[in-house]
Amino acid sequence: MPPPPPPPSRRNDSKASAASKEENIYIPSFISKRPFYAGEEGDQTDYLEHQRLHKSKDDQSKWYDRGKKLGPAATKYRKGACENCGAMTHKAKDCLSRPRAKGAKWTGKDIQADEVIQDVQLGWDAKRDRWNGYDPKEYRHVVNRYAQMEELRNHVDGNVKEEGEDDKDDGEKYAEESDMGRHQSTATRQLRLREDTAKYLLNLDLESAKYDPKTRTMVDAGATADKAAQLFAEEGFLRASGDAAEFEKAQRYAWEKQEKSGDTSQHLQANPTAGEFLRKKEREEAEKKKAAQLKALQEKYGGTENTISPALRDVIVTESEHFVEYDEAGLIKGAPTTVSRSKYAEDIFTNNHTSVWGSWWSNFKWGYACCHSFIKNSYCTGEEGKRAWENAERHRTGAGLIEDSPAQDEQSRAKEEKTESVKPAAKKRTMEEMMGGVTEAEMDEYRRKRTAADDPMAKYLGKDQLAS
């Protein structure tokens, strides 16, 4: 196992920035270099001072000398020094030495030397450099530790390399060679192959999902006779074999134990050890009971003298004329499908009904499909109830009025014919009158016959009496 990579080396950002300023092609030379007529350096009237090339400043990414001492330690305690270690550069609350039972102030022994305190001026980049102050020599310990572990591993495996043997790159040993003859990195081997199709792309038919409302599950996981069905059969086989089957048995045992006895301690996730112990104990007791029963039968009826040795029993080939064919899902072809039963009472009809409550739905109400009744536990009326509901629905929606409209139309038509026979026939205008326009006589007659709604004398028209 190779050691982790060393931390990145620190760079002089100020020098790099200065070099980038010198190589800036967007600042013309007559601005970056001071011309002779622009005045002397430091002139306050130079408004392009910020564009001139300046000398690189001193490196501000220095770091303090870690652990450096000023000199030899003092021989006796000094007033104002640290009460713990005896150094003058810090107080007892800031001391980084191990707290002593009795400090140097009272014992006067093992007084530490004063540390070097430096005023380090860090630049903008140095303040944000996470590796600032890191000593590269510390990485040697990491390399040496990994080298020792690798050497011990080689001794254990018996793969001690001889001196002078060329060490190949460990990555090349596990690399794969591609079709083009180049080595492929081990990291790319974890990628999914393009030939592998996602499961949700195997079956995109919207009508393929079959839902069983009683068990609230998908029939065959919604798969049909295509690639999705093959995938379901394969997953069903894997789910019913190996550790998956044992896990399912343990889960079912915990559920049944809790349902029968009400013991909530038998939980597969909360207490798997107790469940496995009790399941194993019950299995052993069942085997002992079965062996005792078999022994009792053999003692009563005999049969021990007719037993066949296991070697001969394995050799015997038994014949059978019963042919069984299985489908892709592992089920017997042609076998009747078992209908799932719920915990509720089924196929129980009351009050002369032939269907259950909730078998019919109309107008946002549940009812019986046999009589179209919305009242639960009502007596069944059969076909009469259906016809009564249809008539009520016809009157509610107005369909009955549409059916009765022909008879009403005939009556109205007969009344209109009678009224037309009483009224005198209107005089029809000829084509010449229509093309010739309106005469003055016709206009006078129209004005005389026209009645205005707001005329106060309209009620006296055609009456020979004076207004009182």
Going residue by residue through the chain, which has 468 residues, state the pLDDT in tens, using 9 for 90 and above: 677 777 665 544 444 444 444 556 777 777 777 777 776 766 777 777 777 766 666 556 677 787 889 889 999 999 999 999 999 999 999 999 999 999 999 999 999 999 998 888 888 888 888 888 888 888 999 999 999 999 998 888 875 555 445 554 444 444 444 444 445 555 555 566 666 666 666 666 666 666 677 777 666 655 555 555 666 665 665 566 677 778 888 888 888 888 888 877 888 888 888 888 988 999 999 999 999 999 999 888 877 666 667 777 766 666 667 788 888 777 888 788 777 778 888 888 888 899 988 889 988 999 999 999 999 889 999 999 999 999 988 888 877 666 655 666 677 777 666 665 555 555 677 777 777 777 788 888 888 777 666 677 766 766 666 655
Question: Structural domain tally of the chain?
Answer: 2
Contact predicate 366/358, CB 8 Å: yes
Name 71's Cβ contacts closer than 8 Å, sequence gap at least 6. 113, 114
Regarding whether 397 and 311 lie in a shared domain, the answer is: no
Q: Tell me, yes or no, whether 138 lies in a domain.
A: no
Q: Tell me, yes or no, whether 117 lies in a domain.
A: no
Q: What pLDDT was estimated at residue 290? A: 95
**Which pair of tokens denotes residue 154?**
């080689």
| Burial class of residue 84 in the structure, from the number of CB atoms within 10 Å of its CB (0-12 exposed, 13-18 middle, 19+ buried) | buried
pTM listed for this prediction: 0.25
Residue 223 CB neighbours (<10 A): 24
Q: Tell me, yes or no, whether 41 lies in a domain.
A: no
Regarding whether 228 and 310 lie in a shared domain, the answer is: yes
**Which pair of tokens denotes residue 432?**
């010449």
Q: Tell me, yes or no, whether 185 lies in a domain.
A: no
Name 27's Cβ contacts closer than 8 Å, sequence gap at least 6. 51
- State which residues form the domain around 384: 348-408
Task: Note the Cα 229 to chain centre separation in Å.
Answer: 25
> Looking at residue 386, what DSSP letter applies?
H
Q: Tell me how far apart the alpha carbons of residues 81 and 105 are, in angstroms, rounded to a whole number.
A: 8
Q: Tell me how far apart the alpha carbons of residues 351 and 385 are, in angstroms, rounded to a whole number.
A: 14
Q: Tell me how far apart the alpha carbons of residues 465 and 382 are, in angstroms, rounded to a whole number.
A: 76
Angle at 121 between CA 116 and CA 125, to 5 degrees: 130
Domain boundary among the residues 315, 331, 364 is at 315
Among 71, 153, 172, smallest CA distance to 112 is for: 71
Domain boundary among the residues 408, 427, 447 is at 408
The owner of tokens 């005896």 is 86
**Which pair of tokens denotes residue 348?**
């129980």
Q: What pLDDT was estimated at residue 195? A: 67
Residue 100 CB neighbours (<10 A): 16
Regarding whether 404 and 353 lie in a shared domain, the answer is: yes
Regarding whether 300 and 207 lie in a shared domain, the answer is: yes
Q: Tell me, yes or no, whether 272 lies in a domain.
A: yes
Regarding whether 401 and 298 lie in a shared domain, the answer is: no
Locate all alpha helices (DSSP H) within 262-306, ordered by sequence.
272-301
The owner of tokens 């064919």 is 325
Regarding whether 311 and 352 lie in a shared domain, the answer is: no
Regarding whether 297 and 366 lie in a shared domain, the answer is: no
Query: Measuring CA to CA, how many Å separate 429 from each of 30, 437, 438, 441, 444?
Result: 106, 11, 11, 15, 17
Q: Tell me how far apart the alpha carbons of residues 353 and 368 are, in angstroms, rounded to a whole number.
A: 8
Q: What pLDDT was estimated at residue 156? A: 86
Regarding whether 390 and 300 lie in a shared domain, the answer is: no
Name 385's Cβ contacts closer than 8 Å, sequence gap at least 6. 371, 372, 373
Domain boundary among the residues 408, 423, 446 is at 408
Q: Tell me, yes or no, whether 420 lies in a domain.
A: no
Q: Tell me how far apart the alpha carbons of residues 140 and 124 are, in angstroms, rounded to a whole number.
A: 30
Regarding whether 207 and 290 lie in a shared domain, the answer is: yes
Q: What pLDDT was estimated at residue 465? A: 64
